Each structure stands twice: as structure tokens, then as C-alpha cells.
A = this chain, B = another copy of it.
Amino acid sequence: MNKIEGGVTAPKGFMAASTAAGIKYENREDMAMVYSKEPCVCAGTFTSNVVKAACVQWDMELVNSGEKMHAVVVNSGIANACTGEEGFAACRKTAEAVNRCLSVPASSVAVASTGVIGMQLPVDKIEAGVEAMSEKLGDGLEDGTKASKAIMTTDTVNKEIAVSFEIGGQTVTLGGMSKGSGMIHPNMCTMLAFLTTDINIEKTLMQEALKEVVQDTFNMITVDGDTSTNDTLMLMANGLAGNPLISKKNKDYEVFKENLFDVCRYLARKMAADGEGASKLFEAKVVNAKSKEDARTLSRAIVASNLSKAAIYGCDANFGRFLCAMGYSGAEFDQNDVELFFVSEAGKMQVFDHGTPIVFDEEQAVKILSCEEVMILVDMHEGTAQATAFGCDLTHEYVTINADYRS
């Protein structure tokens, strides 16, 4: 991965802006816009929750329609979910405001919201925000950074990345930003993520690549087991890199997909590590599983378990909780085949060996579990499939944040 400076404004032709629209938060920016004057092919994946926010429904129509895309408008503070007809009208009015300000079709504008469910958006403030941002659009890297900050809710750090790579002798750039730290669970994990690229690619191929990459990146995050109403990942490509159009699964496609994977994985890990109240990144890697699906199921069960998460927080080498989580995950296996290790930059230690606990050095275990990035490595000895899930520990701070989120 050739990481470069910047985020969504790193690729050619993308601009961003942000503003303090006063939707919910005070003394900070709470709206962002990403814009490409050149029309973009777009791809997206969305929450699997049957209660979908109005904006998710709006964006799904845009992606499915085959329409070209010019912009996405995002607000933090209110999720525009469970808001009935009025919520859907708010999406339309937001897009129409962009149409008035930037002369692109309202149908080319995506909208996204994150925050409290069951509250109506103040449409006048949203419209004023769109007007203000339309005048502030800039293609500087700092414009992208400011946008990545404006979409935060309980996030403690903004998340952005950009990479570049060569295709057909042309430099292609791919940038992204994401947010989300509570209501995070696979399919989709709770999050908003927006990726931009100047690559020249066919829409259907791009959608296919995104869908595939999401399985092992964003969909492997879990913070609290709650799959949000608003999860949205969108990718816009305006073609300005000038590479020969990618229209089949050739080597160029593979290069793109690899870079897309790296960007999504980077953002996914950042989001997991910044899960609500988290003090650590908590990963579970399952190797030699019977099938890819089993590997995913098992690794996610480990990082999703409250008891596992609390043990990681307390640096408590209570490995039985990981085995217990695997046991109720739904995957079939025999505990007598399993080996279990703790891994971090402080070392690697085996704690369970084919059905039997290993007597281990508690002090060394605490040292390993005290690192900022901790991994549980599980060898199933059943096959060749593997998967890694990304999560975080469960802390007092998580409870504090969520016991009184709305006020």
C-alpha cells in the first residue's frame, strides 16, 4: 500500500467542504459535502437492518438507478431514521438545495446522516448548510480533513486515508473518510464511509469489487453488536486519472481491488480501535477453519462477546470466554482440535492446546494483553480458511457514553 497524504480530496477533481449548521452539536462543524464537478460512477453497500434510515433508502435508489453521482451531503447529530414521510422529504430537500447551489441534478446527490434515531432533521438548517458549503468547496487536503471531522459523532479521532497506484501508466488515487463508533456490528457495521477515486472504471465492476472487499473489512468490525439503521459506504469514481477504462476483471482490476481492500481495511481497523469508549484494538484471527464462513463467524463471535471484550479491557487472560463465544457462534467444531494464542507486539503465548488448558505465565499474559493492539489467534486445525475480525474492548467509558447519549 502506497499511502499518501490526505483523504477524500486527494484524487483529482474532488472537492470538499464542511460547516457548523447547528443541527445538534455546538461549537463544532456538523455537516460535510464531497463534490466532483465531473460526473462519477458510484457504488455502495448499505445496512442490512430492516429498519433503514430515510437517507439509506434515498442512496440505495441512487446506486441502483445507474444515475451518475456528483455529491454527497452528510450531517452528524441526527440520523433521520424512523422518521416516516417527513424524513424522506428531508433527503429530497437536501438534494434539491445542492441542485440550486451547484447546478447538478438532485438525483445525482447522495445524503447521509448519523446520530439520534427517531428525531426529524431541521431542514432549514440543512439547506442553509448546503448553501454555505457550496461556497466553501475546496480541493485542498485540509478541506478533506475538515470534512472527515465534521461527520464524527462519538468518534474521538477523525479517520481518513489516501493511496496511489499505477494503472496503464497513469497514477490513480483513492481516498476515503469514515466515522462511526457506536452501533457497530457487521452487515454493515455502523458507520459512514465515503471513498473517492479518479480511476476510470465501469460501474458494475466497481460495485462488485466494493461488495467483495467489504466482506473482509468493514463487515468484520464489531463494537457492540448493534447493526445500525444508517450504515452507508459509498465509492465515487470520476475517471480523471485517464487510465484505460477497466471493463473486465484483468490485472488492472486486481490492482484496484487490492488498493481498495487496503483502504477499507485501514479505515475499518481505525474505526474498531476508536469504538465507543475503547482503549484498545481487539482483533481475532481464525486460521485453518473448515470454510471462510466459519472463519468469519468464529472470529466475529470472539470480538463481539461482551465478556471477551471486558476481559481484554482488564488484561485478564480469561481465555475460556473466547472459546465460549466460539461455541455459541453457530459454527460446528470440536474443542479438541483447537489451539489458542494471545498475540501482541509484546509477544505470542499459547493458552489452550487441543482441548486442554496450558499452564502459562500470568505476568507475561498481562504484558501481552496490555498493548494497544491485541490479537486472539485461533488455529482450528480443520481446513485452510481464515478471517480476521476487528473490535475493541468494553470499558466503563462505553457505558458512560451510551447511558445518556441524547443529552
Could you mark each residue 201-233 of chain A with 1 if its beta carbon is under 8 Å from any beta carbon of chain B, else 0?
000000000000000000000001111110000
Contact check, A82 vs B320: say whether CB atoms are below 8 A apart.
yes
**Interface presence of A350 (CB below 8 A):** no
Contact mask A365-407 → B, CB, 8 Å, 1/0? 0000000000000000000000000000011101111111111
| 8 Å CB contact of A120 from B52, B357, B405 | B357
Interface size classification for chain A: 35 or more
Name A's interface SS. Answer: loop
A402 interface neighbour in B314, B328, B335, Cβ under 8 Å: B314
Task: Count chain B CB atoms within 10 A of each CB in A119, A307, A333 and give the residue with the most.
Answer: A307
Residue pair A311, B405 in contact (C-beta under 8 Å): yes
Contact A116 B82 (CB under 8 A): no
Q: In the bound complex, do residue B316 and residue A117 qualify as a contact, i.e. CB atoms below 8 Å apart?
A: no
Chain B residues contacting A118 (CB-CB under 8 Å) are 318-320, 323, 351-352, 357
Asked if A306 is at the interface (CB within 8 A of a chain B CB), the reply is yes
Known: A307-B182, A307-B183, A352-B118. A403 touches B327 (CB 8 A): no
Give the distance to chain B from A192, nearest Cβ to Cβ, in Å.
15
For A228, the closest partner residue in chain B by CB is B324
Nearest first, the 8 A-B pairs at minimum CB distance are: A117-B320, A314-B403, A51-B327, A310-B402, A227-B328, A118-B320, A49-B327, A84-B356
Chain A contact residues, CB within 8 Å of chain B = 48-52, 79, 81-86, 116-120, 182-183, 185, 224-229, 304-307, 310-311, 313-314, 316-321, 323-328, 331-333, 335-336, 351-352, 355-357, 394-396, 398-407
Name 4 extra pairs, CB < 8 A, besides A226-B306, A311-B405.
A82-B355, A118-B319, A227-B328, A399-B399
